[in-house]
Amino acid sequence: MTRQIENAVTRAQEALERTRSASPAEVEQWLEAAAAALEAHAEELVLLAAEETHLPEGRLRGELTRTVFQLRLLGAETASGRHLDATVDHADDAWPMGPRPDLRRVNVPLGVVGVFGASNFPFAFSVMGGDSASALAAGCPVVHKVHEAHERLGMRTADVITKALEAASAPEGLFTAVTGRESGTALVNHPAVAAIGFTGSARVGRLLFDQACARPEPIPFFGELGSTNPAFVTERAWASRREEILRGYAGSVTLGMGQFCTNPGLLFVPALDQEARKVLSAELSEAPRFPMLTDRLAADFGETLDAVAGGEGVETVLTGEPGRSPGPTILTTTAEHVHRKPGLLGEELFGPAGLVVEYGTEDRLGSLAALVGGQLTATIHSETDEDPGPLVRLLEARAGRVLMNGWPTGVTVSHAQQHGGPYPATTAPGTTSVGTAAVRRFLRPVAYQSFPDAQLPPALQEDNPWRIPRRTDGGAS
Amino acid sequence: MTRQIENAVTRAQEALERTRSASPAEVEQWLEAAAAALEAHAEELVLLAAEETHLPEGRLRGELTRTVFQLRLLGAETASGRHLDATVDHADDAWPMGPRPDLRRVNVPLGVVGVFGASNFPFAFSVMGGDSASALAAGCPVVHKVHEAHERLGMRTADVITKALEAASAPEGLFTAVTGRESGTALVNHPAVAAIGFTGSARVGRLLFDQACARPEPIPFFGELGSTNPAFVTERAWASRREEILRGYAGSVTLGMGQFCTNPGLLFVPALDQEARKVLSAELSEAPRFPMLTDRLAADFGETLDAVAGGEGVETVLTGEPGRSPGPTILTTTAEHVHRKPGLLGEELFGPAGLVVEYGTEDRLGSLAALVGGQLTATIHSETDEDPGPLVRLLEARAGRVLMNGWPTGVTVSHAQQHGGPYPATTAPGTTSVGTAAVRRFLRPVAYQSFPDAQLPPALQEDNPWRIPRRTDGGAS
pLDDT tens string B7-43: 999 999 999 999 999 999 999 999 999 999 999 999 9
Residue B222: its chain A contacts at CB < 8 A? none
DSSP string, A346-361: G----SSEEEEEE--S
Which residues 14-53 of A have a C-beta within 8 angstroms of B?
17, 20-21
Nearest CA in chain B to A65: B97
Catalytic residue among B28, B63, B224, B347: B224
Which member of B219, B406, B415 has the closest CB to residue A471?
Answer: B415
The b-or-e profile of A281-319 (16+ CB within 10 A means b, else e) is eebbeebeeebbbbeebbebbbebbeebbeeeebeebbe
Q: What is the pLDDT of residue B1?
A: 57
Q: pLDDT-derived band of residue A1, with 50, 70 and 90 as boundaries?
A: low
Q: CA–CA separation, B242 vs B269, rounded Å?
A: 10
Q: Where are the domains of chain A?
A: 3-225+426-472, 230-404
B335-344 long-range CB contacts below 8 Å, 24 or more apart? B335/B359, B335/B360, B335/B364, B335/B368, B337/B312, B337/B313, B338/B368, B338/B371, B339/B367, B339/B368, B339/B371, B340/B313, B341/B311, B341/B312, B341/B313, B342/B371, B344/B308, B344/B311, B344/B314
DSSP secondary-structure letter at A128?
Answer: T
| Residues ≥6 apart with Cβ < 8 Å to B269 | B233, B238, B276, B356, B357, B358, B359
Domain A3-225+426-472: homologous superfamily in CATH: Aldehyde Dehydrogenase; Chain A, domain 1 (3.40.605.10)
A-B CB pairs within 8 A amount to 243
Whether the Cβ atoms of residue A344 and residue A197 lie closer than 8 Å to each other: no
Distances in Å between the alpha carbon of A251 and those of A65, A166, A265, B415, B461?
22, 42, 12, 48, 30
Whether the Cβ atoms of residue A262 and residue A230 lie closer than 8 Å to each other: no
- Looking only at the bridges linking them, the beta strands covering A329-334 and A353-358 are parallel
Which of A18, A68, A432, A446 has the highest number of chain B CBs within 10 A, making it the mutation to test binding with B? Answer: A446
Q: CA–CA separation, A93 vs A420, rounded Å?
A: 43
Task: Work out the number of other CB atoms within 10 angstroms of the CB of residue A278.
Answer: 11
Residue B452: its chain A contacts at CB < 8 A? 384, 404
**CB contact (8 A) between residue A446 and residue B21:** no
φ, ψ of residue A471 to 5 degrees: the values are -100, 125
Indicate the residue type of A382: S
Q: CA–CA separation, B146 vs A331, rounded Å?
A: 50
**CB contact (8 A) between residue A416 and residue B69:** no
Residue B392: its chain A contacts at CB < 8 A? 455
Give the gap in angstroms from C-alpha B255 to the nearest C-alpha of chain A: 17
Interface residue B467 vs chain A (CB under 8 A): no
Catalytic residue among B28, B77, B261, B283: B261
**CB contact (8 A) between residue B476 and residue A455:** no
Element (H, E) at B143: strand B142-145
Under CATH, which number does the domain A230-404 receive? 3.40.309.10
Nearest CA in chain A to B376: A446
Q: pLDDT-derived band of residue A301, with 50, 70 and 90 as boundaries?
A: very high
- Looking only at the bridges linking them, the beta strands covering A103-109 and A443-449 are antiparallel
- Cα dihedral B8, B10, B11, B14 in deg (nearest 10): 150
Whether the Cβ atoms of residue B352 and residue B253 lie closer than 8 Å to each other: yes
The string of pLDDT tens digits covering residues A165-179 is 999 999 999 999 999
The string of pLDDT tens digits covering residues B415-447 is 999 999 999 999 999 999 999 999 999 999 999
Whether the Cβ atoms of residue B205 and residue B427 lie closer than 8 Å to each other: yes
Q: For chain B, give the mean pLDDT.
A: 97
First to last CA, chain B: 46
**CB contact (8 A) between residue B103 and residue A416:** yes
**CB contact (8 A) between residue B387 and residue A108:** no
The string of pLDDT tens digits covering residues A113-142 is 999 999 999 999 999 999 999 999 999 999
Task: Work out the number of other CB atoms within 10 angstroms of the CB of residue A239.
Answer: 11
**CB contact (8 A) between residue B389 and residue A477:** no
Residue B437: its chain A contacts at CB < 8 A? 87, 105, 445
Q: Which of A258, A469, A269 is nearest to A353 (CA)?
A: A258
Q: CA–CA separation, B469 vs A25, rounded Å?
A: 26
The string of pLDDT tens digits covering residues B168-183 is 999 999 999 999 999 9
The string of pLDDT tens digits covering residues B260-310 is 999 999 999 999 999 999 999 999 998 999 999 999 999 999 999 999 999
Q: CA–CA separation, B30 vs B169, rounded Å?
A: 8
Q: Write the ipTM.
A: 0.97
Q: What is the pLDDT of residue A415?
A: 98
CA atoms within 13 A on the CB side of A449: 29
The separation between CA A138 and the C-alpha centre of its own chain, rounded to angstroms, equals: 17
Element (H, E) at A104: strand A103-109
Q: What is the pLDDT of residue A10?
A: 98
The answer to whether residue A271 scores a pLDDT higher than 90 is yes
| Residues ≥6 apart with Cβ < 8 Å to A7 | A176
The answer to whether residue B476 scores a pLDDT higher than 90 is no
Give the gap in angstroms from C-alpha B22 to the nearest C-alpha of chain A: 13
- Kindly report the length of chain A: 477
**CB contact (8 A) between residue A446 and residue B66:** no
φ, ψ of residue B14 to 5 degrees: the values are -65, -40
**CB contact (8 A) between residue B445 and residue A477:** no
Residue A220: its chain B contacts at CB < 8 A? 428-430
Q: pLDDT-derived band of residue A340, with 50, 70 and 90 as boundaries?
A: very high
Q: What is the pLDDT of residue B2?
A: 84
φ, ψ of residue B286 to 5 degrees: the values are -90, -5
Number of H helices, E strands in chain B: 14, 16
**CB contact (8 A) between residue A220 and residue B430:** yes
Whether the Cβ atoms of residue B379 and residue B232 lie closer than 8 Å to each other: yes
Q: pLDDT-derived band of residue A2, with 50, 70 and 90 as boundaries?
A: confident
Give the gap in angstroms from C-alpha A320 to the nearest C-alpha of chain B: 32
| Residues ≥6 apart with Cβ < 8 Å to A41 | A160
Helical spans, DSSP H, in A116-234: 130-137, 151-167, 181-189, 202-214
Q: What is the pLDDT of residue A371?
A: 97
The string of pLDDT tens digits covering residues A378-406 is 999 999 999 999 999 999 999 999 999 99
The string of pLDDT tens digits covering residues A243-268 is 999 999 999 999 999 999 999 999 99
pLDDT mean over B138-165: 98
Which of A381, A455, A462, A467 has the highest number of chain B CBs within 10 A, making it the mutation to test binding with B? Answer: A455
Q: What is the pLDDT of residue A404?
A: 98
Active site residue A140: no
**CB contact (8 A) between residue A455 and residue B217:** no
Interface residue B286 vs chain A (CB under 8 A): no
pTM of the model: 0.97
**CB contact (8 A) between residue B218 and residue A427:** yes
φ, ψ of residue A114 to 5 degrees: the values are -95, 130
Q: pLDDT-derived band of residue A477, with 50, 70 and 90 as boundaries?
A: low
Active site residue B77: no
